[in-house]
Amino acid sequence: MERNLFVIDFETTGLNPYHDEPIEIGIKKMGMDEYYNTLIVPKKENGIYYKYVPKKVTEITGIKDIDIINKGISQEEATFNMYKYIEDNSGEGPIYIIAHNGLSFDFIFFRKMIDNYSHTVRTRNKTIKESLVKRFKYIDTVLLARYLIPNDRVNQPSLCRRFNIKNNDEHRSMGDVDSLISIYVIICKQLSRIRGKKSDNYYLENTKDILDELFI
């Protein structure tokens, strides 16, 4: 398997990545047991902190105000920890960030956090390389799923049902990360087979070709 595959998921205050804020992040390198996961205190752009999690979000995720108050950390701290996790667990070469519906959602939150706090991250830890961000490549598994099954639903719960994957903590970051890892492996193997590659593991071992050949 490729060395630098990181699966990421955000839970947020709403569905608009340009207006809403993250309340939880989970990230895990494929092939590793260790991961990074935290609740985040959501903050508006004007610097005023929310003092609540919207009721609808609590109904979906189970995350309550009291959870954020007791366990949440600032976006700045979360960005530093996330960035450090990626750097500590990356080898040479491209770093692939994988998310479901990432282009329309998760990648936007990810980039906003990096853009907003990258200077702080480097100031706090001189060993963090500024060039790390330049190595990021993004893979949206929605596009992979649409390539594989163009005439069916490709939201994450539907794919879990299709591939008999159990999500033990749906709509929480690490539950969604772990189930997406399983989805990604299955999709890569099926695409390798369909496209006549020499091994079912071809796209797991040659991630660059996913971007080059499947135009995502």
Segment 190-212, tens digit of pLDDT: 999 999 999 999 999 999 999 99
Tell me the pLDDT tens digit for each residue of 29-43. 999 999 999 999 987
Query: In order of start, what are the domains of the chain with their CATH numbers?
Result: 5-213 (3.30.420.10)
Q: Which of 34-48, 87-101, 132-146 has the lowest mean pLDDT?
A: 34-48
| More reliable by pLDDT, 36 or 48 | 36
Q: Is residue 86 over pLDDT 90?
A: yes
Nearest residue to 172 via CA among 25, 18, 40: 25
Question: What is the reported pTM?
Answer: 0.92
What's the residue count for the chain? 216
Predicted confidence at residue 70, as pLDDT, reads 93
Pairing verdict, β 35-39 and 5-12: unpaired
Percent over 90 (pLDDT), the chain: 78
Torsion of CA 98, 101, 103, 105, to 10 degrees: -110
Report residue 133's pLDDT band, with 50, 70 and 90 as the boundaries: confident
d(CA 81, CA 87): 10
Cα–Cα distances in angstroms (integers) from residue 5 to residues 67, 78, 160, 208, in the given order: 30, 20, 20, 11
Mean pLDDT over all residues of the chain? 91
Nearest residue to 131 via CA among 87, 70, 188, 80: 87
Predicted confidence at residue 131, as pLDDT, reads 73
